[in-house]
Amino acid sequence: MRIRLCLAALPLVGGAGLVTLSAPAATAVACTDLDVVSARGTFEPGTLGFIVGDPVYSALRQKISGKSLSSYKVNYPADLSPTSAAQGNADLVNHVRSQAASCPNQRFILVGYSQGANVVDNSIGISSAGAVVGSPIVATIPAALEPRVAAVLLFGNPIRAIGKSVTGVYQSRTIDFCAAGDPVCESGGGDVGAHLGYRDDADAAAAFAAGRV
């Protein structure tokens, strides 16, 4: 119940109504040097996500010089339905595959907050099944494209509350913020406000990514 209250503390937005796992056909955007792919948290408003996606993208633009950036908001419900994270997983992978095919020199920065961290986890092969608003893996970024993922930026990652983390080939490129007391990423945590404060970590996340591009 505490975790559900934490998720519900985010402002509600309407229009989340996808009911299948099939991702829409991805349309390639401009071939920038870096494409920032952001999966927002449950019910999180904003262009890429008010709490994490938007401030992180702004910080990346300031920290990374000499390279062009574009952004993509993962298309998924970001609600409490059992297939929500799986839909985001499918869309993220579909987008990366499409962009990679259209833009052979483009690299990617993956950003995920709360349920969006589950989406990113699944997409890089770390299952979020069993975590709050998690799901089994339905798609993964192909091994051939793995080197083009420059950095993975995670915030309030629910798999941490069940004792998991990003391991394997993406581990050294991943930074995973979990605020003390955040009940979504810390087992036994009880500070709902901690889950809503990751905007303060945007600069640190951007600095981490800048060091890997």
152 torsion bin: left (phi>0), alpha (psi -120 to 50), beta (else)? beta
Catalytic residue among 35, 54, 195, 201: 195
State the pairing for strand pair 149-155/69-73: unpaired
Give the separation between CA 100 and CA 107, rounded to whole angstroms.
8
Q: Is 195 a catalytic residue?
A: yes
- Residue 187 falls in the annotated catalytic set: no
Question: Which position among 114, 123, 128, 135 bears the catalytic label?
Answer: 114
Question: 121, 176, 182, 201: which is the annotated catalytic residue?
Answer: 182
| Active site annotation includes 70 | no
> What are the residue numbers of the active site?
114, 182, 195
